[in-house]
Amino acid sequence: MNLKYIALLTTLFLSLANAIEVPKNVFINNLHRQLDISQSVVRENVAISVKAKEDGVKFFYLTYKQDLIPYLSTMVAFTKVDKEEVLEIEQIDLEDDSDLAYFKVNLEKPINTGERVIVNVEVSIIKVLKPYPKYIEQNDDQYVLFNTNVYYLSPYLVSKQKTTFKIGETIKSYSEDPAPVKVSENDVYYGPYENIEPGTEKIVSLHYKFKGILIHFEKIERTIEISHWGHTVGFKEDLIVHHDGSELKNNFNRIAFQKSKFYTETPSSVKDMIFVLPPRATDIFFVDTIGNVSTSAFHKDETRTLLQVLPRYPLFGGWKYTWSQGYNNPLDGNVKYSPTLKKYVFQAPVLLSIKHVPVDHFKLNIILPEGARNVDINLPYSFDNEERKMTYSYLDTTGRPTIVLEKENVCDDHFQYFQVSYNLPFYFPLQKPLVVALFIFSLFVISMIWNRLDLSIVKVKI
């Protein structure tokens, strides 16, 4: 055991030695860290008051544990003065395997000695809530465990820090060390702590009843097809959902489940998911690999359409479900001709999903009309992978330009709009009718030739 620790310590030391040199030109004189852990997307809001020790400090660093990086979904920094203006954050590439990841935050304007600037860093972290206990009974509540470093991991000295956890439900247990700890209603307050050395760690655990739904999408593939001929925009999503909650101790008991409908709930299960579709959504479908799912329902009013997705079976911990859903929307609400750009502009949300549910892998296919040219796309944030290709569909000859975008670790902060602009060639309205006409014409020609061909060996006289 001791050996193991020694080995661990040495690697830690080595990795720290290899890590980048952080100039100690600033320190953090005050820090307030708020963590909302009531939903499966954990939101961390850190208000950092950075004080310069030198003149002309242009940037400072944030550090995160390397093993937390795969769970980071979004990271935004802004100064309190101007919330609209977002600060530039760049991740520092490290050649060696360090257990820390560094993010460089570029300040708006350099600060001088004694000056301070308050920077808000908003981070959403996904899939860090662990169901505990691992196995529960069918009618039991869902409890989760959340572990984190109570101190804000920083390469700088932190003079003063507070940490707040928002839970929103009854708390079962929490670490009482390091003091002071205070619990009020559904929140837990740690701190204030003073003069924390860089790299100090103290893991605290919170065990509490979870009020949200503990699921995540393993994959969402969204396909948007713009059709000027059909005057519609077709939206389609293929989804794989996984329930991350505690698994059933004694397997699923249908009879108990049916009876529990009348007097209790099965709080850990997910029976339905509600998607908000645009108001004029038509031709809504909800199918899975083996056909239409007859349990779904949708509700329509003037501002929106609600699609209630009821999976074939209620989802319990560890269970999985896959399906496809989609709808059509009229073209005129989505695509507009911009006279200034002299282009068609299409705008739509990047993703349609449920709030507080993270997505591991997201893929967006945008299929433009056949012959679209000068395609430009304006994305609200960067994607991991972008690809252009051609798709062929009904009556296509030259193919439809398609943009394929991929991104990992998506959450509801990514529910933003994107724009695609394109030109259509002048012959666009003629292309498809011409193809059909040519095809039929060639059929006639073939039949003309066929009728004039005489392949008989012996002429039969009638």
Partner 1 sequence: MAVSAVSLQHLKKSKDLLCIVILALIAILAFISRLLSVIRFESVIHEFDPWFNYRATQYLVNEGFYKFLTWFDQVSWYPLGRVVGGTLYPGIMITSGVIYKVLHFFNFNIDIRHICVFLGPVFSGLTAIATYLLTSEVCTKSSGLFAAAFVAIAPGYISRSVAGSYDNEAISIFLLMITFYFWVKSVKTGSSFWAACTALFYFYMVSAWGGYIFIINLIPLHVFVLLLMGRYSKRLYVAYSTFYVLGTIGSMQIPFVGFQPATTAEHMAALGTFGLLQIVAFLHFCRTYLSSDSFKTLLKRFLIIISIIGISGFAILQKTGIIDPWTGRLYSLFDTGYAKKHIPIIASVSEHQPTAWPSFFFDLHILVPLFPVGIYFAFKKLTDESVFIILYGITASYFAGVMVRLMLTLTPIVCVAAGIAMSYLFDNFLLSSKSKTTVIKVEESEDIVSSAESLPESPASPKMGSSPTSPKMKSKKTENKSSILTKENETKDNTPTIELKLIVTLSMLLIFCMYVWHCTWVTSNAYSSPSIVLASRNRDGSQHIIDDFREAYYWLRQNSAEDAKIMSWWDYGYQLAGMTNRTTLVDNNTWNNTHIATVGRMLASNEENAYVLLRRHDVDYALVMFGGAIGYSGDDINKFLWMIRISEGVYPEQVKEENFYNSRGEYRVDDSVSPTLRDSIMYKMSYYRFKDLYPNNQAYDRVRGTPVYSKPIQLSIMDEVYSSENLLVRIYKIKKPDNIGRSLQSAAIFNSGRRRKRNRKSRKD
To the nearest whole angstrom, how small is the minimum distance from the Cβ of residue 262 to partner 1?
Answer: 12
To the nearest whole angstrom, how small is the minimum distance from the Cβ of residue 458 to partner 1?
Answer: 11
Q: Which of 3, 93, 291, 340 binds partner 1 (CB under 8 A)?
A: 291
Number of residues interacting with partner 1: please give it, by CB under 8 A: 30
To the nearest whole angstrom, how small is the minimum distance from the Cβ of residue 219 to partner 1?
Answer: 14
To the nearest whole angstrom, how small is the minimum distance from the Cβ of residue 350 to partner 1?
Answer: 25
Q: Does residue 5 interact with partner 1 by CB under 8 A?
A: no
CA distance 127 to 217: 11
Backbone torsions φ then ψ of 249, nearest 5 degrees: -70, -45
CA distance 432 to 440: 13
To the nearest whole angstrom, how small is the minimum distance from the Cβ of residue 264 to partner 1?
Answer: 14
Q: Which of 295, 347, 419, 423 binds partner 1 (CB under 8 A)?
A: 295
What part of residues 238-267 is at the interface with partner 1 (CB under 8 A)? Answer: 250-256, 258-259
Q: Does residue 135 interact with partner 1 by CB under 8 A?
A: no
Contacts 24+ apart (CB under 8 A), 260-265: 260/138, 260/139, 264/139, 265/139
Question: Encoding tokens for residue 172?
Answer: 């079962």
Backbone torsions φ then ψ of 438, nearest 5 degrees: -60, -40
In the complex with partner 1, the residue whose CB is nearer, 288 or 386, is 288
Q: Which of 24, 312, 355, 388 binds partner 1 (CB under 8 A)?
A: 312
Q: Which of 318, 347, 349, 360 binds partner 1 (CB under 8 A)?
A: 318
To the nearest whole angstrom, how small is the minimum distance from the Cβ of residue 392 to partner 1?
Answer: 4
To the nearest whole angstrom, how small is the minimum distance from the Cβ of residue 246 to partner 1?
Answer: 15
| CA quadruple 149, 150, 152, 156: dihedral sign | negative
Burial 46-74 (b: 16+ CB within 10 A, else e): bebbbbbeeeebebbbbbbeeebeebbbb
| CA quadruple 380, 383, 388, 393: dihedral sign | negative
Give the interface segment with partner 1, choosing from 157-165, 285-293, 335-343, 380-388 (CB under 8 A).
Answer: 285-293
In the complex with partner 1, the residue whose CB is nearer, 3 or 455, is 455
Q: Which of 3, 449, 453, 462 binds partner 1 (CB under 8 A)?
A: 462
What part of residues 165-184 is at the interface with partner 1 (CB under 8 A)? Answer: none
Spatial CB neighbours of 167, under 8 Å, sequence gap ≥ 6: 37, 38, 186, 187, 188, 206, 208
What part of residues 320-349 is at the interface with partner 1 (CB under 8 A)? Answer: 320-322
Nearest to 370 by CA among 430, 420, 436: 430
To the nearest whole angstrom, how small is the minimum distance from the Cβ of residue 42 to partner 1?
Answer: 27
In the complex with partner 1, the residue whose CB is nearer, 184 or 289, is 289
CA distance 307 to 204: 40
To the nearest whole angstrom, how small is the minimum distance from the Cβ of residue 255 to partner 1?
Answer: 5
Question: Encoding tokens for residue 214?
Answer: 């503990």
In the complex with partner 1, the residue whose CB is nearer, 146 or 316, is 316
To the nearest whole angstrom, how small is the minimum distance from the Cβ of residue 84 to partner 1?
Answer: 44
Give the interface segment with partner 1, choosing from 63-71, 153-161, 316-324, 422-430 (CB under 8 A).
Answer: 316-324
Q: Does residue 294 interact with partner 1 by CB under 8 A?
A: yes
Asked if residues 86 and 76 have their Cβ atoms less than 8 Å apart, the reply is yes
Q: Which of 60, 152, 319, 344 binds partner 1 (CB under 8 A)?
A: 319
In the complex with partner 1, the residue whose CB is nearer, 47 or 256, is 256
Nearest to 28 by CA among 161, 158, 162: 158
Give the interface segment with partner 1, choosing from 88-96, 273-281, 284-292, 342-350 (CB under 8 A).
Answer: 284-292
Q: Does residue 200 interact with partner 1 by CB under 8 A?
A: no
CA distance 8 to 451: 87
Q: Does residue 292 interact with partner 1 by CB under 8 A?
A: yes
In the complex with partner 1, the residue whose CB is nearer, 32 or 243, is 243
Place of tokens 């549910």: 357
Nearest to 412 by CA among 346, 327, 350: 350
In the complex with partner 1, the residue whose CB is nearer, 251 or 303, is 251
CA distances in angstroms from 80 to 35, 117, 155, 289, listed in the order given: 18, 8, 22, 49
**Residue 320: other Cβ atoms inside 10 A:** 12
What part of residues 351-410 is at the interface with partner 1 (CB under 8 A)? Answer: 392-396
Question: Encoding tokens for residue 256?
Answer: 């108990």
Nearest to 31 by CA among 148, 181, 157, 115: 157
In the complex with partner 1, the residue whose CB is nearer, 70 or 433, is 433
Give the interface segment with partner 1, choosing from 111-119, 167-175, 216-224, 314-322 (CB under 8 A).
Answer: 314-322
Backbone torsions φ then ψ of 99, nearest 5 degrees: -90, 5
Binding site for partner 1 (CB under 8 A): 250-256, 258-259, 288-295, 312-313, 318-322, 392-396, 462
